[in-house]
């Protein structure tokens, strides 16, 4: 029976993609975009994406400019991108409106020509995937390439929605903890909750019941963030390492400072 179940699972993962629906809610009515309609749009085109974040190589996609689906957003708006696997990227609208040359695209998986599988633990990137051309121009981070995308929402910013993740307001604005809080929102918060707050469903809470700075030595925690398999080898693990390109040493120091600080500010709901 177990062998049969595994075979059926493998078969399901190997099946071609099916038409899907992307839900976009910018506060003035929910709009649903279906695969077939997106592929037929006049602004759809084939783009080439060097060093694609999900696949680690040059990829070609049929895609539409993301801003065409986000009409009416302002630079001070806050957007959330929710994936089918529980990943929830919090991205300021200003990044999509940048004038540095980086452009966001909604890549659309054609059911007749499905994308290749990712590694065995992440199945497929489809049906929708936010990709970037010239991402380095606006310093787009790897967490700002959400795949398996299911919904886009305009929401209040993270601080307003989740007050329990805020550091002590008496800290000076330029402190390392405050900087770490900003970096945390761009990286860790896409997969993890903290103090029981957050929309991500992919990883465990980072403060309740224990903060990782409480049970891992600083060197081991750094190594784990850089390469989770260096601490515990687990082929089925879903956490991806953050190299120096994705998270600089200075930003890593700041995130750890924020986590150490939040270990003293536990909140249970």
Q: Dump pLDDT digits (tens) for 204-262.
A: 999 999 999 999 998 999 998 998 877 777 766 667 778 888 889 999 999 999 999 99
Q: What is the mean pLDDT of residues 188-211?
A: 92
Range 161-262 has CATH code 3.30.460.80:
no
Q: How far is CA 100 from CA 53, 125, 131, 136, in A?
A: 20, 27, 16, 9
Tens of pLDDT, residues 87-142 = 899 999 999 999 999 999 999 999 999 999 987 655 789 999 999 999 999 999 88
C-alpha to C-alpha distance for 164 and 178, rounded to whole angstroms: 14
Most confident of 1-15, 36-50, 194-208, 242-256: 36-50
For CATH 3.90.420.10, list the domain ranges present in the chain: 17-155
Q: How confident is the model at residue 264 (pLDDT cuts 50, 70, 90)?
A: very high
Cα separation values, 185 from 92, 99, 122, Å = 11, 23, 22
Distance from C-alpha of 95 to C-alpha of 88, rounded to nearest angstrom: 16
- Going 52 to 238 to 183 to 156, the CA torsion angle's sign is positive
Q: Is 127 in a helix, a strand, or coil? A: coil
3-state secondary structure of 257: helix
Element (H or E) spanning 70, and its range?
none
Tell me which residue has tokens 């910013």.
Answer: 157
In CATH, the architecture of 17-155 is Alpha-Beta Complex (3.90)
Q: What CA–CA distance (Å, rounded) separates 246 from 243? A: 5
| Percentage of the chain modeled with pLDDT above 90 | 68
| In the chain, ranges of CATH 2.60.40.420 domains | 161-262
Q: How confident is the model at residue 177 (pLDDT cuts 50, 70, 90)?
A: very high
Average pLDDT of the chain to the nearest whole number: 88
Contacts of 231 (CB under 8 A, 6+ apart): 220, 223, 224
Among the listed residues 58, 64, 68, 49, the one whose alpha carbon sits nearest the alpha carbon of residue 107: 64
């Amino acid at each position: 029976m177990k062998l049969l179940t595994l075979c059926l699972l493998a078969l399901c993962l190997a099946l071609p993609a099916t038409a899907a629906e992307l839900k976009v809610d910018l506060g003035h009515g929910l709009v649903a975009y279906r695969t077939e309609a997106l592929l037929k749009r006049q602004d759809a085109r084939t783009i080439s994406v060097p060093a694609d974040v999900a696949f680690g190589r040059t990829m070609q996609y049929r895609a539409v400019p993301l801003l065409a689906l986000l009409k009416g957003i302002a630079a001070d708006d806050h957007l959330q991108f929710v994936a089918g696997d529980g990943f929830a990227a919090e991205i300021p609208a200003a990044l999509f409106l940048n004038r540095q040359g980086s452009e966001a695209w909604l890549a659309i998986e054609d059911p007749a020509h499905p994308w290749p599988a990712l590694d065995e633990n992440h199945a497929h990137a489809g049906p929708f995937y936010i990709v970037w051309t010239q991402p380095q121009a606006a310093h787009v981070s790897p967490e700002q390439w959400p795949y398996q995308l299911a919904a886009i929402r305009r929401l209040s910013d993270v601080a307003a929605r989740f007050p329990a993740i805020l550091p002590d307001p008496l800290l000076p604005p330029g402190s390392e903890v405050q900087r770490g809080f900003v970096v945390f929102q761009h990286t860790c918060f896409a997969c993890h909750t903290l103090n029981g707050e957050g929309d991500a469903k992919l990883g465990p809470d980072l403060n309740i019941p224990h903060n990782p700075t409480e049970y891992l030595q600083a060197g081991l925690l750094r190594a784990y963030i850089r390469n989770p398999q260096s601490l515990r080898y687990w082929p089925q693990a879903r956490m991806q390492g953050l190299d120096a390109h994705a998270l600089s040493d200075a930003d890593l120091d700041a995130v750890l400072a924020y986590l150490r600080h939040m270990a003293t500010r536990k909140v249970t709901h």
